[in-house]
Copies of this chain bind each other. A is one copy, B any other.
Amino acid sequence: MRDRRPGGRPALSEERIVRCAVRLADAEGIDALSMRCIATELGSGTTSLYRHIAGKDELIELMVDAVYGEDAPPEAAPGPGGDWRTEMAGIARGLRAALLRHPWLAQQASRRPALGPNVLARSDRALAVAGRATGDATAAAMTVSAVMTYVLGSVTTELAEREARRTTGMTEEEWQESVGEYVRQVVDSGRYPHFNRRVLEAEERDAGARFTFGLDCLLTGLAAALGSG
Question: Chain A residues in contact with chain B, CB under 8 A?
Answer: 106-107, 109-115, 117, 120-121, 123-125, 127-128, 131, 137-138, 140-142, 145-146, 148-154, 156-157, 159-161, 163-164, 179, 182, 186, 191-195, 197-198, 200-203, 205, 209-210, 213-214, 216-222, 224-225
A157 to B120: give the CA distance in the assembly, Å. Answer: 15
- Is the contact region of chain A dominated by helix, strand, or loop, or is it mixed? helix
Q: Is the beta-carbon distance between A217 and B218 smaller than 8 angstroms?
A: yes
Query: Is the Cβ of A120 less than 8 Å from the Cβ of B210?
Result: no
Q: Within the complex, what minimum Cβ distance (angstroms) separates A179 from chain B?
A: 7
Closest chain B CB from A192 CB (angstroms):
4
- Which residues of chain B come closer than 8 Å to A200, judged between CB atoms? 137
Taking the closest CB of chain B, its distance from the CB of A212, in whole angstroms, is 10
Q: Which of B106, B127, B192, B214 contacts A146 (CB 8 A)?
A: B214
Residues of chain B with a CB closer than 8 A to A195's CB: 120, 123-124, 127
Contact, CB under 8 Å: B113 / A161: yes
B145 in contact with A214 (CB, 8 Å): yes
A197 and B138 alpha carbons, distance in the complex (Å): 10
Instruction: Check if B194 sits within 8 Å of A131, measured CB to CB.
Output: yes
In the complex, besides A111-B164, A112-B164, 18 extra interface pairs with C-beta distance below 8 angstroms are A107-B107, A109-B157, A110-B156, A110-B159, A111-B160, A113-B160, A113-B161, A115-B179, A124-B193, A124-B195, A128-B194, A137-B202, A145-B210, A146-B210, A146-B218, A216-B225, A217-B218, A221-B224
